Amino acid sequence: MANELTSTGNNVQQQQQDFGPRVKGAMIVKPIVFGNVARYFGHKRSNGHTHEWKVYLRLYNNEDPSGYIKKVHFKLHDSYPTSLRICEEPPYEVEETGWGEFEVNIKIYFVDPTERPVSVYHMLKLFKIEPGAAPDGGPMPVFTDYIVSEFYDELVFSEPSSTMLKLLKSAPQLPPSMASRFEKDFEKEKEETLQTLISHRNRIGAEIDDLKRRIQTTKDEIAKYQSNIV
């Protein structure tokens, strides 16, 4: 056991040496989009499947990440014959058919083995939740021809190795034929979220100012009563 631990430690040190030292103070952020699209067949097939779907991981800025991403694992439901799908180059996506929703573990491995893999979890969506569609008036999943479920996130590389930093900075753009077109307008969503935050901040600021005025008024009244008593 001691020899195994020593060997493992030496391997880690060798890997770190291969990619160079960590660059103090360096930080690189890579925005990503992950999710799925699904189309309803219009009927149930003989195998029970009702939808064709695609789950994916993409770089938001449409750059080619193959220089710093080694591979991406998609862990599907165990009912699929090959539940672990591996993509070693873009596009990082899996296409399948099915009938049910389940959580997909998307695990990203980097070319620098000292960078820990990153996992994101996505609930595969096939149905639209319709409020009031259930017999009791509650929400109910319903069939729809086409559905999209996309999310924005960011990979943050804090003090990467010198080689990894170069790879992150020098990633080229994907060719136009491979460029992603997202179903969601994330810039619009970002702007709407920002405006909502500003609105909430202004409202809270106004409430704080009003509370300060009330407190000051109360203090003035207390001081007035105290002076009358004296």
Q: What is the pLDDT of residues 40-65, one digit of tens each?
A: 999 999 999 999 999 999 999 899 99
**pLDDT confidence tier of residue 113, bands split at 50, 70 and 90:** very high
95 and 104 Cβ atoms separated by less than 8 Å: no
Q: What is the pLDDT of residue 1?
A: 52
Residue 52 counted as domain residue: yes
Same domain (yes/no): 165, 210: no
For 168-215, how does the pLDDT look when each residue is reduced to its tens digit (9 = 90+)?
999 999 887 777 777 777 677 767 776 778 888 888 988 898 889 889
Same domain (yes/no): 230, 123: no
Same domain (yes/no): 176, 121: yes
| Higher-scoring residue by pLDDT: 20, 12 | 20
Q: What is the pLDDT of residue 13?
A: 55
Same domain (yes/no): 49, 140: yes
Same domain (yes/no): 61, 161: yes
Same domain (yes/no): 51, 139: yes
Same domain (yes/no): 160, 220: no
For residues 86 and 105, give the distance between their C-alpha atoms in angstroms, rounded to a whole number: 12
**pLDDT confidence tier of residue 8, bands split at 50, 70 and 90:** very low
Domain range for 99 is: 23-182
Q: Please choose, from the candidates 185, 159, 187, 155, the residue with its C-alpha nearest in 3D space to the C-alpha of residue 171.
A: 155
Count of domains for the chain: 2
**Predicted confidence (pLDDT) at residue 144 exceeds the cutoff of 50:** yes
Same domain (yes/no): 128, 204: no
Q: What is the pLDDT of residue 3?
A: 52
Same domain (yes/no): 48, 28: yes
Same domain (yes/no): 43, 129: yes
Residue 7 counted as domain residue: no
Same domain (yes/no): 178, 227: no
